[in-house]
Structure 1
Amino acid sequence: MTTPQPSDAALLEISDLRVAYPGRGLRARPQEILHGVSLTVREGETLGIVGESGSGKTTIGRAVLGLVKPSGGTVRYRGQDITHASAGERRALAREIQVVFQDPYSSLNPSLTIGDILTEPLVVQGVSSADARSRVSDLLDQVGLPADASERLPREFSGGQRQRVAIARALAPRPRLIVCDEPVSALDLSNQTRVLELLIGIQQRSGVAYLFVSHDLAVIRHISHRVGVVHRGGIVETGPAATVTSTPRHPYTQRLLLAAPVADPVEQRRRRHERRNLARAEHVEAPT
């Protein structure tokens, strides 16, 4: 892994986080999605959050961003409790906490030029037009897009290029933390690698921290310093990325590792068989 080592200072602290969504029907009880999640992201670190669809991993990022309301626990940023931050406080936090979403097209306004998309968050913060234009030029250079990209619309770019624009927009206010919600899952393998290397390079230069959410253990291994594995709304394993993604302890993480495809059909068959055995064992040991 090529990412630099982060500092020991805690940037984001999630303690006993719980999130419940309303149940269906008039008398239905709320359904708890997260069951007491605790995590820490340090300055300049990438914390990878991995799990299958429906595990609750995306809800962690949404709670940090204030897009869902926690039913319990706390979220602290630089020591400040932001669990129930007001709309005004969230606007101020947007200078330091940004997000890159999964779909690089739907997250960009199709009627605005790239220049307008990148200028908008700067103008909101009171940056002058001249300084904003200079910053846009610098951002395009950082993400490897040509200077004339500012005059074009999102539809004129490929998926990988659009995700670079989304990353540039997140970088515009010079944040200290970016929540990356499946940022490469909609891209082909070659573009995935390019975007991951871009994010790593940006971190090396700026020291920004990432809370990186993905269902793909290989992606998490490539970019993360540490990993938290989410299963059924709880953290089942945490540790250094190299350890968790190669010699995991928990049966669920072992199943995630075995689910990764390999070119050898014999090995693929063996992994499939072992994965089924782990799933059966986990089901038998699960409390009723």
Structure 2
Amino acid sequence: MTDVDTHQPTLLLVDDEQNILSALRRLLRTEGYRILTANSGAEAIELLKAETVDVVMSDQRMPGMAGVDLLRIAKDMQPECVRIVLSGYTELQAVTSAINDGAIYKFLCKPWDDAHLKANIAEAFARRRMADENRRLTQELEVKNTQLQELLAERSDQVQIRSEALGVFHEALEALPVGVIGVDDEGVIAFCNSTAVAQLEGYPVGLGMAARENLPAELLNEAGSLQLGDKRLLVSRTRLGQRSTSRGYLLALLDASTFRAANEGT
């Protein structure tokens, strides 16, 4: 269970008049809030040091520290808490300045209407929950972005390795004394080395060409050899896909005279 799940919505009420605090407690006792009270700005600051507070509602005119000054300090101490002034004195200049500074969310007047006060406090808690959820989602997104960057870096390394391996593969194909032609499952020539091009002189062998239209028919009919003028090619055909995701087949062409010379040499 997370801290968000176990945290009880906490309301801090600040007023130098004890009877006001008692009246507010009675009004809000059934709303499901954990209620803390303070009789001065200094006492409220000590509570803010020790407790996580979701909403602070303070009287404006109090001995020692005005409500807006307390709420400015509360903003610095717990920026996420929602701050409300509840006062019988308008003092519009001080309150307006605090609103513009972002020190307070709302100004409510004494005497209050019970239903109106409850609604505004509920709205303040809803605002706090929304801010907490936005912060949680932002943190989640940052974690996901970090994971994505790590995954992309890993994939980039894999792509680089595979690209290098592919380059080595093509170099090896070109170095073979055997003609090699790859045909995909749609019958298109996917690769061929220069030995195959030289062996099939007169046939337009190239990447992307249709095998049936450009290769000798004998190669496509699973013949074991191919006669081209006075040259005979031994043909090996291998179906792809047994150890990889490749599809189609591979043709290997070996000049019969080369094969014979190799056998005589052994």
Higher helix residue share: 2
Instruction: Normalising by structure 1, report the TM-score.
Output: 0.19
Bigger relative CO (Cα 8 Å, ≥ 6 apart):
1
TM-score (norm 2): 0.21
